Structure 1
Amino acid sequence: MNKSKPKHSAHGLVLGIFLPWIVWWGMAEIPNLVWAGEETSVEAVRKAFEQGQYPKVIELAEPLLKKGNASAPQVQQWYVLALAHTSKTSEALDAYERLVQDNGREDEVLLKQMAIASILPLRADMREQMRGAAYTALREMEAIEAMPYLEEGLGDQSGMIRALVTEGMGHVAAGRQSKRFRDALKDGAALVRANVLEGMAESGDKKMIPIITPFLTDDQLIVQISAAKALLGLGQSQYWERLERGVRSEDGYERGASIRALGDLGDPRAVAILEQTIKDSQPSIRAAAVSALGKLQTPSALKAVKGAMFDHIPAVRSVAAFSLGNFPPSDVLPVLTSGLQDPNLGVQTAAVASLLRIGASFTTVAETVERLMQDQNPAARSGVAKALGHGTSQESMVMLKLLIQDPTPRPRITAARSLGRIGHRNSLPILKRTLRDTDEAVRVTAAAAIVRILEKPVGT
């Protein structure tokens, strides 16, 4: 009996012949398909980041980073910034350090962006003090990148926060050019309006004169004084009489504001007026007059400020000690050195600051600095941290790096701020560690210090 032969369809024959080629071709395409999938995922991360959906960025980025794909560096950067934007500063720093380790070098652009991003969430804090810490940090950066975020603070419900913001914006050209900054002249808080007026004067733009002039009749005296000061700064000498009248006012706020304005303007005509004011019965007025005289830097002003070192009120002596730092070293070194022995810690601290400002050897202040650093009062330790921010020596840096590890937040905040002011790139490691501090205000101050250092030219 004949056995029937198995039947093969044409389809089966073709499949049998070409299956190996189909399999090979398909396998060859798999990497391309995977790559296309990665491209889609990376694009999703990018879109989420650009839309400010930072939790989604973290969710989408983590699987990609675990794979270690070719797009990892770009995804890592978004991931670092997303963590910082969501108040996960410590995790952001971990991710940043992994990226640095992979690249073998610091990424200053990313570090700067991360530092700024770590500050931003605190602006929405319910506590005014914490919002103030965030906006203070942004103001201290003196970086163009901070301006849009400072500008948003003009909408804060607190007048004190808005005043802090306008003061910061007024010192930076990009801030003064902001429409919202100028619109703040309509703000209900007098100090906000005053800050905007003074910021306008800093621009030196005489086109501001007709905008400023109506505020000479503002219903708040402090705004009137700021308007007169601004106009004088723009060359409108006829408003000098307004400040003279303000100095004679019975209103303490008006007197103080007028005295400070005279000092800021730097006009020698103010010396005779201020020499009388320095004898005022109110300590706050005497202190304002001493500070103003210190800015004028004339021989007669120096004599008056030296005399204030013997005032019976410590706060006045403190202002005098700090103001002496504006004068030539040879004229003030003996009196400042004696100030280190003042019974008041605030006066000692101010003397340290001025001695460092005039370039005195660190050995001159070393004993006082060490004593203040060991004082049980956190205010004393914070004060010396601020004073050290006026030095430039390696010894000042070493002391600040010790104070940034103080057991209480206040000295740590001040030390971080001072390091940002005088530190160099070799201060970045300790400031980065401070981004992990348990205190929010310390962290944002350290972030601002990092930005300030990165704003400096390399090698300075």
Structure 2
Amino acid sequence: MFIAIFILSLQSNRDSTNSIANRIKPPLKMVSYTAAGTIYFNGLILIVFSFGSFSEAKMKVLLVSSLISMVLSLIAIVYTSINLLSNVSGLKTSSEKLVYISDLLRGQEGNPISPLKQSEKDTQFCIKSLDDENPEVRAIAAEALGQARGPEVEKALLELLEDKNSRVRITAARNLGRIGTENAAEPLIKRLAVDKDPVFRACAIESLGNLKDKRAIEPLIKSLDDKVPEVRLVAARALGILGGDKAEEALIRKLNKSSPELQKQIILALGNSGSKKAAGLNSKKATGALIYKLRDKDPELRKCAAESLGKLEDPESVDPLLECLGDTNPEVRNAAAYSLGTLRAEKATDSLMGMLTEEDSELRITAVYALGNIGSRKAVDALLKTLDDSNPWVRRYAAEALAKIGDKKATVPLVKNLNDPDPEVQWATAEALRLLDKQNSR
């Protein structure tokens, strides 16, 4: 019976023994096979004992052999366990690496301090995992390294730009822009020129924009002609971030020769603060191009142009924006009102006061906000009336606007609004009264 049980055990455990051994490195394979072998050796000794009697000397030899094999087996098991519990990447299969790195990424969710920034061991594990033959492992390791820092991490991600798998390259490109390494611009530009994957090109362009390296301007201008629309959109956005004469001129040239989607992105890019102010430009080209788009037949483009003109803060746009307050589209009027407030255009006060009676509450909210920014005392009486508006956001912004203007005649009406049913309005009113008291006690 014992012999039968032993043979069945040998057969049933053979596959599991091979499976365990195949999951680890050759040195540990030998150890695991040794451990399994000693177990079977002891089984064979017991079988031999069952067949007959032996001399005392032979018995001692068999018992000593059995004892030695058991000690070796114990050493092998302990050694194998220690190594399997370690974080050495060579001891993990691709599946184990995926699980381990996924846990690292989950640990980063909602955590202001990335675990990789705290654990050099985990960082090294991820770097070593970049050599795994499974592209999923390389991609997830690259994703995790986006939360780490240091020359070794940057070098590892830069090398991945040449990976044969596009997902791995995409992850590396995105994280290089996230890390903000100065050494990434040139390799990204080089790969951008030859990569056939449009998703990679879009990620590389976005990262180049985030890096704010002026060397990227020419390649990004070329990308405005990319055959894939999404890549062209990202290129326009990145050029807006980078700014400069060349970027601005290229965007303007493309403005009226592009699809509505790309025109919208170009308009927003021209309004980006990096497009004009940060570059110290004196050119009026961007302002002129955007003013022209205020007359476009597409209301979405008119709205975007009005928004961007407010960001450029050019006084020449005040009159064209005033005309937009009469636009047939409420979103265009709303954008124009907001930009006039940003520009602190006092000549817009009367027109904005007229918007306080609009049926659309969004227009009333924006008009109140803009009047507060402009700060004209001429608007105080009109703003006091909005303290009773049906929309709580109008009442809240009215309190804030009156505080900005600083006219003490607003004090008594504001005190009444301390009992407003909306807690946000109550808070804004109390803060407005505090500011008014501070201003009038000087």
> Shorter-chain-normalised TM-score: which range?
0.3 to 0.5
Larger relative contact order, structure 1 or 2 (CA cutoff 8 Å, min sep 6): 1
Select the structure of larger CA radius of gyration: 2
Using the size of structure 1 for normalisation, the TM-score is 0.44
Using the size of structure 2 for normalisation, the TM-score is 0.45
